[in-house]
Amino acid sequence: MAAWCTELANWVELELHVQPGAKLTEVAGVHGDALKVRLAARPVEGQANAELVRFLADAFDVPRRNVTLVHGASSRRKRVRISAPARRPDREWAKLFA
C-alpha cells in the first residue's frame, strides 16, 4: 500500500496535501508522502473542507458522515478517515501514482 494510505478492517485513512482554488476537484498525484488533491473551492469558511468531504464520500461511495477530518482542518496537510468504504479508489490511485 502507498505511504499516504493506512488501512484497517473497516476504515481507510489518507494523508492528503490539498490545493484549494482549482478549476475542478480531482486527485492530482503525490506530494511528498501525501496524496495531492485539487479542490474546486476556496479556503474560506470551511468551503474547501466541505468540498473535500463531498469528493471523498462520492469517490468511496459512502455517506458524508463516514468521512472524518482527523487532523489539519485549517492546513493544506490533512488526515482523513473513511469508515466502511463501499468502493476503494485509493487502490487505483496508488497504481497511478506509484
pLDDT tens digits, 9-67: 899 999 999 999 999 999 999 999 999 999 999 999 999 999 999 999 999 999 999 99
- 19 touches 77 (CB < 8 A): no
- With b meaning 16 or more CB within 10 Å and e meaning fewer, what string describes 33-63? ebbbbbbebebeeeebbebbbebbbebbebe
**pTM of the predicted model, to two decimals?**
0.95
User: Given pLDDT bands bounded at 50, 70 and 90, which one contains residue 97?
Assistant: confident
- pLDDT of 98 above 90: no
Q: Could you give all domains of the chain from N- to C-terminal order, each with its CATH number?
A: 5-87 (3.30.1200.10)
| Cα four-point dihedral sign 1, 9, 67, 77 | negative
Residue 4: all three cell numbers together: 499516504
- Model confidence pLDDT, tens digit, residues 69-92: 999 999 999 999 999 999 999 999
